[in-house]
Structure 1
Amino acid sequence: MKTPNGHEIIQLFEQFSPKRLAEQGDPIGLQVGSLSHKVNKVMTTLDVTEEVVDEAIKQGVNVIIAHHPPLFVKLGAILTDTPKGKIIQKLLTHNIAVYAAHTNLDVANGGVNDLLVEKLGLQDTNVLVPTIQQTMYKLQVYVPKTHAQDIREAIGQAGAGKQGDYDFTSFSVDGTGRFRPVGNASPTIGNLDQHEEVEEEVVSTIVEEVRLSSVIKAMKKVHPYEEVAYDVWKLEQQGEVQGLGRVGRLTTSKTLEDFLQVVKENLPVESVQVVGKRETVVNKVAVLGGSGRSYFSYAKRAGADVYVTGDIDYHSAQYAEEMGLNVIDAGHYIEWVMVEGLAKKMNELFKMEKWDVECIASTVNTNPFRVR
């Protein structure tokens, strides 16, 4: 099995959570250290505190993937007798790189907000705050008919051919491939310096930009030819809308009081603050991890019976009450769901790549608030 370096780890991560999904000015990416060295162990965390770094050192971690950028504000100097400087010193001393994935992981399919949806048991979900729409591409690959099904399966598994509620969509045309191997060629079919004709199939599909590189990689991996003939076109039609937060429905109606218990039982919270009458019937729920006070109007327009988010101040709560929006402030720490969720996702990707590397979830509670 292969031991990847840090660059390969992050390239794999960015296949489903690319930087372009992030809000403008968000300080994401590599923040401390180098990605050039080999990686045996990765750790996910919500925050990078000294206790988290100590855990990473003890566990032999090479790369930390954090949701909250530890250097959210640029430092004018690194002073090792300050808390932030001490953390950086420990990271560099033990050759641990820190990579931050903030709003791109909020927006990404399978990211923070989808993990919250899963925990709350919401169905038929949609994006709450649209921020980006996928660019679509057409991929067309020429392959011997004997290997066409292998190609269709590989590119479908990599995410090509997704259209609405359908996946693995493709179209094929039969044809004849012609070539002559020359020089140092090592042909799968045919002989050097001899013209060859092969019954081939042209397999066409559509691919979202975020999945294009991984689909091409998967296609080349199973294609029998050493020189693969394929075409890629950018399409006028737009793809999936992505963005912050989600809105969906409960499988059964609940009162706001009963739904509070669902939140407390399934999210990492000790207490919540509530705006609204507890007997209110809840069917439709909006959720947005982190600070969600700027998006009340989106939750209201989506017809949400309640909006679950964090960091709601006094005057914002009054505004929500005035506009008739029920709100559950469960705190910023509900984003902790990404720690275990992302570790599971990364291990699945490592297994698919057949890499000798492990991703662990930090066990450190980084929530600065304590309920008394």
Structure 2
Amino acid sequence: MPKTPALQEVIDAAEELWPHSLAESWDAVGLVAGRRDAPVAKIHFAVDPVSAVVDEACDAGAGLLITHHPLLLRGVTSVDASDPKGAVVHRLIESGCALLTAHTNGDSAVGGVNDVLAEILGLRDQEPLKPAEEGLTEEGLGRIGSLEPGMPLGEFASRVFGALPSVAGGVRVAGDQDAFVQRIALCGGAGDSLITAAHDAGADVYITGDLRHHPASEARERARGGRPYLIDVSHFASEWLWLPAAAQALDRVLSERGYEVEVAVSGINTDPWDFVLTPG
């Protein structure tokens, strides 16, 4: 007969999927709030621990909210409820809902953010752009793989656009839309730090979010108008795709251990932009 897990047992299952050791040194992952012996019958997944998402999880009676982005990435000295982050902490505690973060460990893990994005876009034989210092050879930041068959950049950009949740910013592309592309590099979230790695790996195009002006401009200068071309997507959208797969994977691990939980994925769009104006 399946039983309800305690929070610690869910944390143990999450550790199997998204090991803490894969997190970058600057990151803040793991348990943020919650009693480890509390029962968890409902688990909610989301990208951002913003107030609307926390309210959604708490109103649904979730015992645990798992988010990709950390709530307290930088040090704090107060969780005063008049502050937005403090208010989130109070709402979670008062509602009996724990908060767990799987950020760069969720990016690097097998079956994590980048593997899911690569699979959805149809890449084969993918490998990390920046292999993990400790862990499996398949683990690390970013992915690069092959598109079979290849296609024009404009057509591939349309595929990327169609695969992502609809957000105001859409998709931006730097490169000749008729250029043939087949070797694809990507990094969910903000990945302009891996542009050089994409270049060195021989990528025809590099997909990531939050591409800043100077790194993008410098990359295009180095490429002299050639490869790798760039596709800039929404940070939120590129990572939301992981949530259904993550929820399914955690549910499977818990089920294998004899536990039964109800798992839900938030449908709230937490991309910060509401509309965009474009020429013409």
Q: What is the TM-score when the length of structure 2 is the normalising length?
A: 0.92
1:294 counterpart residue number: 193
Q: Is the 8 A contact 1:126 1:248 kept in 2?
A: yes
Q: Quote the Cα distance in structure 2 between the aligned partners of 1:27 and 1:250.
A: 34
In the other structure, the counterpart of 1:327 is 230
Establish whether residue 345 from structure 1 lines up as the match of residue 242 from structure 2.
Answer: no
Give the partner amino acid of 2:19.
P
Q: Which moved more, 1:331-340 or 1:90-99?
A: 331-340
Partner of 1:275: 174
Whether 1:266 aligns to 2:163 is yes
Whether 1:128 aligns to 2:132 is no
- Distance in 1 of aligned mates of 2:166 and 2:219: 22
Structure 1 residues 338, 19: CA separation in 2 closer, same or farther (over 3 Å shift)?
same
What whole-Å deviation, never above 9, does each CA across 1:175-201 have from its counterpart, x for those lacking one?
xxxxxxxxxxxxxxxxxxxxxxxxxxx
**Match for residue 253 of structure 1 among 145, 150, 156:** 150
- 2:206 paired residue number: 307
CA shift for structure 1 position 80: 0.9
- How many angstroms does 1:48 deviate by? 0.6
For the Cα contact (< 8 Å) 1:119–1:267, is it kept in 2? Answer: no
Deviation for aligned residue 1:351: 2.4
Distance apart, 1:87 and its partner CA: 1.1
CA contact (8 A) 1:133 1:241 kept: no
Counting only pairs closer than 5 Å after superposition, residues 151-166 of structure 1 correspond to structure 2 as none
Matched residue type, 1:64 = L
Aligned partners of 2:251 and 2:239: how far apart in 1?
A: 20
CA contact (8 A) 1:112 1:335 kept: yes
Aligned pair count reads 268
Q: Report what 1:182 is aligned to.
A: none
Structure 2 stretches lacking a partner, 5+ long: none
Residue 295 of structure 1 aligns with an amino acid whose one-letter code is L
3-state SS of paired residue (2:189): strand
Report the Cα offset of residue 269 of structure 1: 4.5
Secondary structure in structure 1 of the residue aligned to 2:65: strand
CA distance in 2, matches of 1:74, 1:362: 27
- Give me the whole-angstrom Cα distance separating, in 2, the residues matched to 1:305 and 1:129: 17
Amino acid at match of 2:151: K
Query: Contact (CA 8 Å) 1:275, 1:320: kept in 2 or not?
Result: no
How far apart are the structure 2 equivalents of 1:300 and 1:268? 27
Partner of 2:93: 92
TM-score, normalization by structure 1 = 0.70
Tell me by how many angstroms 1:38 deviates: 0.8
Whether the 8 Å CA contact 2:207–2:231 is kept in 1: the answer is yes
Root mean square deviation, CA, Å: 1.3
- Contact kept in structure 2, 1:250 and 1:284, CA below 8 Å: yes
Structure 2 residue aligned with 1:22: 23
Q: Deviations over 1:86-106 (max 9, x none)?
A: 111111101111011111111
Is it true that 1:242 corresponds to 2:243 in the alignment? no
Partner Cα distance (2:251, 2:268) in 1: 20
C-alpha contact (below 8 Å) 1:132/1:241 kept by paired residues: no
Distance 1:54 1:286 in 2: 36
For residue 92 of structure 2, give the secondary structure of its aligned residue in structure 1.
helix
Give the secondary-structure state (helix, strand or coil) at the position aligned to 1:363: coil
Cα deviation code 1:49-72 (max 9, x no counterpart): 111111111211001111100111
Q: Is contact 2:21–2:134 with CA below 8 Å preserved after alignment?
A: no
Corresponding residue number in structure 2 for 1:357: 261
**Over residues 240-283 of structure 1, what are the superposed CA-to-partner deviations in whole Å (9 max), with x where a residue is unaligned?**
35210100111111111000110011122441111111111110
Larger radius of gyration: 1
- Is the 2:17–2:250 contact (alpha carbons within 8 Å) kept by the matching residues of 1? no
Asked if the contact 1:269/1:330 (under 8 Å) is kept, the reply is: no
Alignment of structure 1 residues 191-210 onto 2, 5 Å: none
Deviation at 1:352, TM superposition (A): 1.9
Residue pair 2:208, 2:235 contacting (<8 A) in 1 also? yes
Indicate the SS of the match to 1:240: coil
Decide whether aligned partners of structure 1 residues 343 and 308 sit closer, same or farther in structure 2, where only a CA change above 3 A counts. same
3-state SS in 2 of match to 1:104: helix
Whole-Å separation in 1 of the counterparts to 2:18 and 2:241: 16
Partner residue of 2:118? 117
